[in-house]
Amino acid sequence: MLNKSELLALKGVNLHDQFKLFKDYGAPNLQKPFTKPTNVAGIWDVLSISIDMYLNKKWSPYATMIDKQEENNSRESDGSDETKDEVIYKDDWEDM
């Protein structure tokens, strides 16, 4: 979700799921060292900053998805048995 109005409507599990997606897909302001806010307003604030970074072309979840896919392809080609992350494509991300 990259729309602040829709983001502000989220609460509970949906808000925490959105936070996890942003963090997993490389939002720079959510990477280590970082402590997740404990209240809804705090989570909205950090996700809002992530959206601003995306809109200002300072971060792209799509680039992270491509990196993850290339990493998975590399593991696949070297015969590694590590678990592969699910790849979420651009069209799917926009629907979340």
Structural domain boundaries in the chain: 4-95
Q: Which amino acid is at 46?
A: V
pTM over cut 0.85:
no
Alpha-carbon Rg for the chain, nearest whole angstrom, is 15
Contact 50, 19 (CB under 8 A): no
pLDDT given at position 56: 93
pLDDT given at position 59: 87
Contact 53, 59 (CB under 8 A): yes
Within 10 angstroms of residue 67's Cβ, the number of other Cβ atoms is 12
Task: Tell me the pLDDT tens digit for each residue of 49-90.
Answer: 999 999 999 988 877 665 556 666 666 666 655 544 455 555
Task: Tell me the pLDDT tens digit for each residue of 8-45.
Answer: 999 999 999 999 999 998 999 999 888 999 999 999 99
